[in-house]
């Protein structure tokens, strides 16, 4: 709509002054508790937004000052609420990066709660009274679990890889297969990480085939590391060949170039019970890799962290690097990771009931079917004119773990006579608690694989609130 200049100027002149909005009753209470500068900033923003809308012809009249004041009061209330909301994961993706990846066990949650409101022995050795290091506390647990005596922990696995490359190979060559120059997600691309950590990338082999000889020919005086990246999120199939880790390790020993494996997921297979088709941390260590790194919040089921296991001489260098301090973990991570690793000490998946990925692995199809039927029946009570069906679907581990591994899952499909699938998706995502399902081929679905106790009731509560006109 073209904007009439005179009319616009008339409207702009009518805009209330900042002080006029601030003196409205709706802001009296907020002004008694919130910083004056904050409230003023939000009032100015509100007026600027209004001015912009008037100029673009999107607004034909000026709201009353008390309405503007109320908007600012609402905005303040919104800003005061917790930023992160517990969210129902009905996507069927167990380690969903957007939804916070692994859930912490109750022991790990408790460990975090216990040390955050109190002082703790984070870096104090209580026996000697001397200063220690926060990562040293985790070392005995990682040793007991893997047999690797030296380890360190940093902010996440990306940080771990960056630290290893920078501290051990800065300015020198890092040899890696062309088949492993992958992008993990976000901005994590192996070639970029190698180069920005100060190393020279030496690519060997081809996308689909890399042989031991390719590595051998690339080794020079300047070679610092052989990097093997677990290609977590894709597979090359067909005419392929990659070099077994044990052969690479033998080559590394012969030529004095250590092998570093970026494993990604950090799977510790249980002694008994279902075993995932994922490379185990132990297998990599047993093959003789000098260094291994993996995430804390993928298949390990703990907090965000990057764990590096390796030969003592390398770990010492990592700890001495100025980057270590830049990438160090905080006490909440130490507490949560410690509790998570302690759960992994148990031999059977059944004794580690609360570690997310094992938990979801343990949800049998029969249990899922029962859960899906219960959800469907309850939902039908709240929205009798809608259609709910139990259907077969698939789930995924997510977070770059086991990309091809589809988990059997049950869904409840939801059809409303008033709302499209996309609309339902939006409505349920916007409420409290947000429910994240997915709409595919025009149908909205809730995948029960990733539901946690209480989620059926949470979903019902939300569906109950959906009005015909939403
Ligand atoms: C996930 C992953 C990373 C990144 O780990 P974050 O903990 O998310 O930083 C790096 N390398 C591989 C192989 C991965 O799978």
DSSP category for residue 447: E
Around ligand 1, the residues with Cβ closer than 6 Å are 156-158, 161, 184, 188, 229-230, 232, 262, 264, 295, 306, 400
**Widest Cα–Cα separation across the chain:** 84
451 CA to centre of ligand 1 in angstroms: 25
pLDDT tens sequence for the chain (470 residues): 557 889 899 999 999 999 999 999 999 999 999 999 999 999 999 999 999 999 999 988 899 999 999 999 999 999 999 999 999 999 999 999 999 999 998 899 999 999 999 999 999 999 999 999 999 999 999 999 999 999 999 999 999 999 999 999 999 999 999 999 988 877 789 999 999 999 999 999 998 899 999 999 999 999 999 999 998 666 677 778 888 999 999 999 999 999 999 999 899 887 776 777 888 999 999 999 999 999 999 999 999 999 999 999 999 999 999 999 999 999 999 999 999 999 899 876 666 556 666 666 667 889 999 999 999 999 999 999 999 999 999 998 887 666 667 889 999 999 999 999 999 999 999 989 999 999 988 999 999 999 998 999 999 999 999 988 88
Contact present, 175 and 205 (Cβ < 8 Å): no
Residue nearest to atom 11 of ligand 1 (CA): 264
The DSSP line for 344-378 is: HTSSBGGG-TTSHHHHHHH--HHHHHHHHHHHHHH
Distance separating alpha carbons of residues 298 and 304, to the nearest angstrom: 8
Write down the pLDDT at residue 406: 84
The domain segmentation of the chain, as residue ranges, is: 5-77, 88-95+360-465, 106-350
The DSSP line for 107-133 is: HHHHHHHHHHSS---TTB-TTT--B--
Contact present, 227 and 258 (Cβ < 8 Å): no
Q: ∠ CA 140-141-145 to the nearest 5 degrees?
A: 115
Task: Kindly report the CATH number that applies to the domain delimited by 88-95+360-465.
Answer: 3.90.1150.110
pTM above 0.85, yes or no: yes
295 CA to centre of ligand 1 in angstroms: 6
Write down the pLDDT at residue 231: 83
Pairing status of strand 306-310 against strand 291-295: antiparallel
Q: ∠ CA 163-164-165 to the nearest 5 degrees?
A: 90
Write down the pLDDT at residue 351: 60
Sheet hosting strand 438-440, strand order edge to edge = 387-395, 407-415, 443-447, 438-440
Q: How many CB atoms lie within 10 A of CB 47?
A: 18
Select from 3.90.1150.10, 3.40.50.20, 3.40.640.10, 3.40.50.2300 the CATH code of 106-350: 3.40.640.10
Q: Which among 232, 278, 302 is the best mutation to test ligand 1's pocket, defined by most ligand atoms within 8 Å of the CB?
A: 232
Rg of the chain taking only CA atoms, in angstroms = 28
Instruction: Calculate the CA dihedral of residues 325, 330, 333, 334 and round it to 10 degrees.
Output: 80
Write down the pLDDT at residue 1: 54
264 CA to centre of ligand 1 in angstroms: 5
């Amino acid at each position: 709509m073209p904007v009439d200049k005179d009319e616009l100027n008339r409207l702009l002149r009518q805009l209330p002054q900042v002080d006029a909005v601030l003196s409205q009753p709706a802001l009296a209470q907020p002004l008694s508790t919130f910083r004056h500068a904050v409230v003023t900033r939000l009032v100015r923003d509100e007026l600027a937004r209004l001015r912009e809308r008037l100029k673009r012809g999107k607004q034909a009249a000026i709201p009353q000052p008390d309405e503007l004041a109320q908007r600012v009061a609402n905005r303040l209330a919104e800003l005061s609420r917790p930023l992160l909301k517990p969210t129902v994961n009905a996507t069927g993706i167990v380690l969903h990066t957007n939804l916070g990846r692994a859930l912490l066990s109750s022991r790990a949650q408790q460990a975090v709660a216990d040390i955050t409101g109190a002082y703790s022995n984070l870096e104090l050795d209580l026996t000697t009274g001397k200063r220690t290091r926060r990562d040293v506390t985790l070392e005995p647990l990682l040793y007991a679990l893997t047999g690797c005596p030296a380890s360190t922990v940093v902010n996440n696995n990306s940080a771990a890889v960056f630290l290893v490359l920078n501290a051990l190979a800065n300015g020198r060559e890092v040899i890696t297969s062309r088949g492993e120059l992958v992008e993990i997600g976000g901005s994590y691309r192996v070639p970029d990480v190698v180069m920005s950590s100060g190393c020279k990338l030496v690519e060997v082999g081809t996308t689909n085939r890399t042989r031991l000889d390719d590595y051998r020919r690339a080794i020079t005086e300047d070679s610092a590391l052989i990097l093997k990246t677990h290609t977590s999120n894709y597979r090359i199939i067909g005419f392929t060949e990659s070099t077994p880790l044990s052969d690479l390790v033998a080559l590394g020993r012969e030529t004095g170039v250590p092998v570093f494996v970026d494993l990604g997921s950090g799977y510790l297979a249980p002694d008994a019970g279902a075993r995932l088709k994922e490379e185990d941390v132990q297998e990599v260590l047993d093959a003789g890799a000098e260094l291994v790194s993996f995430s804390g919040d993928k298949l390990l089921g703990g907090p965000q962290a990057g764990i590096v296991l390796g030969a003592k001489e390398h770990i010492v260098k990592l700890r001495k690097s100025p980057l270590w301090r830049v990438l160090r973990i905080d006490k909440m991570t130490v507490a949560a990771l410690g509790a998570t690793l302690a759960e992994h000490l148990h031999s059977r998946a059944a004794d580690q009931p609360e570690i997310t990925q094992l938990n979801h692995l343990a949800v049998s199809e029969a249990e899922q079917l029962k859960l899906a039927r219960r959800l469907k029946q309850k939902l039908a009570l709240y929205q009798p004119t809608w259609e709910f069906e139990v259907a077969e679907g698939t789930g995924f581990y997510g977070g770059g773990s086991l990309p091809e591994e589809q988990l059997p899952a049950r869904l409840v499909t939801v059809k409303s006579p008033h709302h499209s699938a996309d609309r339902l998706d939006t409505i349920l995502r916007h409420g409290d608690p947000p429910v994240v399902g997915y709409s595919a081929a025009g149908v909205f679905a809730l995948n029960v694989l990733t539901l946690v106790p209480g989620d059926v009731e949470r979903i019902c509560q939300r569906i109950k609130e959906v009005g015909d006109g939403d």
